[in-house]
A = this chain, B = another copy of it.
């Protein structure tokens, strides 16, 4: 019995502070603001430490949605999961993807599994737990809870798991030290990678992609351990993990389907094609009737060994441009070429998210 309706809306933005597109959809009745569960965005900052376009975008969205929801901006930020990924290098085009979910009574007569979305949170972590087995285990539990929330029981039906996770600050490192404990790293920047990596491994454990006996020392070292559907990003504003599971479920009456593939390296065109085909699409221009691409979600990184298929790349030695910017630009160019649009979600920093130098790529199609 289908009981859930899930919507996906891709909205172009004219700048990080632009909320006009979303508000228009709310005003027109296309989006019920109370149904908004999560917003994933690409903003046009550098994607690095001093990328303020992410928090600016979240602040603008919370301020704009507050009167629509009868909440304060701060309460909006607590209610909706905002994941902003900075960096629209090359042909990537700034936009947000809005996910809605609502209960329905009279489901339409549709067949097959459809897009479903579920969310869950871990408990707050101690600083010394970040990037270690505690974070892995708790994340795995939350992934299972989010799957249940999405009405998904089979791990094979999970196609993209977006996670927001904490990072270390000097205050947090000192708090651990005051308890006599050492953190995985003392660097804020490095802690982002540890937290992303452990969170991704939590997904891998939950979905049975790896065995659950991962040791602390495997994090950021055992590149052979990874999830094919995890996409994680760390932020300073929380001390727990927020897990968003996207998959297909027969409890959903959504007009959308999701599928995925794994890029083995940054130039893995066949994987992108495979992700498109997994939701019944082809390489652009689309030939199939009755289906259209909504968005592609992918993670990109510069391969840590300094080469792609045996050929040296220069991303890791460039002191002018960070490697994450290079990687997003290149992978974004490839995906945009195959998808026929630069308005896709390509995010950087892919520790334990797909194989080293590669990453997961998911696609959502609308059926009509």
A74-96 vs B: 1/0 string, CB under 8 Å? 00000000000000111111100
- CB neighbours (8 Å) of A313 from chain B are 88, 90-93, 342
- Interface locus among A44-52, A150-158, A176-184: A44-52
Is A47 within 8 A of B308, CB to CB?
no
Given A49-B319, A269-B283, A283-B269, are A44 and B337 neighbors across the interface (CB < 8 Å)?
A: no
Docked-complex contact B312 and A14, CB < 8 angstroms: yes
Give the residues in chain B near A89, CB-CB below 8 Å: 321, 326, 329-330
Which chain B residue lies CB-closest to A321?
A: B321
For the complex formed by this chain, how many copies does it contain in all? 4
Q: Is A16 an interface residue (CB 8 A)?
A: yes
Q: How far is the CA of A367 from the CA of B319 in the complex (A)?
A: 40
Is the CB of A341 closer than 8 A to any CB of chain B?
yes
Closest Cβ of chain B: how far from A356's Cβ, in Å? Answer: 15
A56 to B50, CA, bound (A): 13
Interface size on A, residues (CB 8 A): 64
Contact of A63 (CB < 8 Å), options: B50, B63, B319: B63
* In the complex, A59 has a CB within 8 A of chain B: yes
Decide if B15 touches A52 in the complex (CB within 8 Å).
Answer: yes
Show 19 A/B contacts (Cβ-Cβ < 8 Å), sorted by A: A12-B312, A17-B52, A17-B55, A44-B52, A46-B319, A47-B319, A50-B317, A51-B319, A52-B52, A52-B56, A89-B321, A89-B329, A89-B330, A90-B327, A91-B330, A309-B342, A326-B329, A329-B330, A331-B333
6 closest pairs, A vs B, by CB? Answer: A48-B319, A90-B330, A330-B333, A333-B333, A329-B329, A269-B337
